[in-house]
Amino acid sequence: MPHAPAPQGTTRLPAPAGPARPSRLAGPLLAACALTMGLMAGLFFAFDVSVMPGLARSDDRTYVEAMQNFNAVIDWSGLFGLIFVGALLTTGAAVFYEYRQGRRTVGRWLIVATVCSLLVLMLTMGVNIPLNNQLADGSEYQFAGGLWVTWSLSRAPAQRFERPSV
């Protein structure tokens, strides 16, 4: 249907552009973010509410041996490394992609998620891994003192906030 001509002395403005629409890459990229972050949040949550309280009921020797075994398995797990690093990488890629597509609101939430993921990474690399290394070297009493648990608990809330809510 043809548009009516603009009244004399006025200029027809173009229709306002709607919000940018996601492309075919947006869905899989956001799904990868949600999956990797959800898996990491689930791992931290499971440790916080079941593994660590369960181990706290054990004697120090059992506690330390179990944690050494957990750490040995995680240290050599390629899948864990892929998911751990993938959570940060997919979210960072999604930030870049969504901003390039003009989806600023989604991009802002993904920036928050990326910052939370960076905090989790820094806590893990700066606190938990050095404590795990002390435990592996036999410094078990320092480990069993609760410092690891305290810092581990601080990672879980950050990880829960980083899931993209799109």
**E strand or H helix at 106, and its extent?**
helix 104-123
- pTM: predicted TM-score of the whole model, two decimal places: 0.70
The Cα–Cα gap between 126 and 145 comes to 18
The Cα–Cα gap between 109 and 80 comes to 25
pLDDT, tens digit, 9 for 90 and up, residues 23-71: 788 899 999 999 999 999 999 889 888 988 888 888 878 888 888 898 8
pLDDT, tens digit, 9 for 90 and up, residues 67-116: 889 888 988 899 999 999 999 999 999 999 999 999 999 999 999 999 98
Q: Is residue 1 part of a domain?
A: no
Q: Is residue 51 part of a domain?
A: yes
Closest CA to 19 of 105, 100, 110: 105
Q: Is residue 82 part of a domain?
A: yes
Q: Is residue 11 part of a domain?
A: no
What was the pLDDT predicted at 136? 80
The whole domain housing 101 covers 26-161
Q: Is residue 7 part of a domain?
A: no
**Which structure tokens are listed for 111?**
């920036």
- Give the total number of structural domains in the chain: 1
What sign for the dihedral angle of Cα 109, 111, 116, 120? positive
Distance, C-alpha 155 to centroid of its chain: 10
Among 56-60, 102-106, 124-128, 146-150, which stretch is predicted with the lowest mean pLDDT?
146-150
What was the pLDDT predicted at 35? 95
